[in-house]
């Protein structure tokens, strides 16, 4: 209730948006985990596990992978470390964005882990969620800002 002559110091707040989690497709998960967390580390550090008894007469892909292992070991290791570092940076950014959007702890953990595994494939979904969150939180955005954010989220 309001007393005569006194105004309410706290203006009514907009309803809080509940931020949800969007999982990636199963084929994306299988592809990323196979390539990034199985094949690339094996090629970079334990190539002999991939080709224990190779005679050089395998498939075209097998020959190509064997060539990379035998002649570009340093490049494979550097690629592996750089990709893992990028995924880690994206995961930290995902955690920061979740904190900004005031996500529940379990949702923030899901986003962070998902972005670490999937990288940009998951981060784009988080950016789209951030766009929706910011659109509902603040005044309507100009069309230029909306198009820029939509392009970034794709």
pLDDT band at 53 (very low <50, low <70, confident <90, very high): low
Which one has a higher pLDDT value, 140 or 134? Answer: 134
First to last CA, the chain: 48
Q: Rounded to an integer, what distance in angstroms lies between the CA atom of residue 21 and that of residue 73?
A: 38
Assessment of whether the complete model's pTM goes beyond 0.85: no
pLDDT of residue 56: 56
């Amino acid at each position: 209730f309001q007393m005569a002559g006194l105004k309410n110091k706290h203006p009514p707040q907009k309803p809080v948006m509940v931020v949800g989690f969007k999982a990636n497709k199963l084929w994306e998960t299988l592809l990323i985990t196979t390539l990034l967390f199985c094949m690339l580390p094996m090629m970079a550090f334990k190539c002999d596990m991939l080709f224990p008894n190779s005679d050089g007469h395998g498939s075209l892909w097998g020959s190509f992978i064997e060539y990379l292992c035998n002649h570009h070991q340093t490049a494979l290791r550097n690629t592996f470390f750089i990709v893992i570092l990028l995924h880690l940076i994206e995961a930290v950014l995902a955690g920061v964005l979740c904190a900004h959007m005031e996500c529940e702890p379990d949702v923030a953990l899901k986003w962070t882990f998902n972005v670490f595994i999937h990288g940009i494939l998951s981060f784009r979904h988080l950016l789209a969620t951030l766009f929706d969150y910011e659109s509902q939180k603040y005044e309507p955005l100009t069309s230029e800002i909306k198009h820029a954010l939509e392009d970034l989220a794709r």
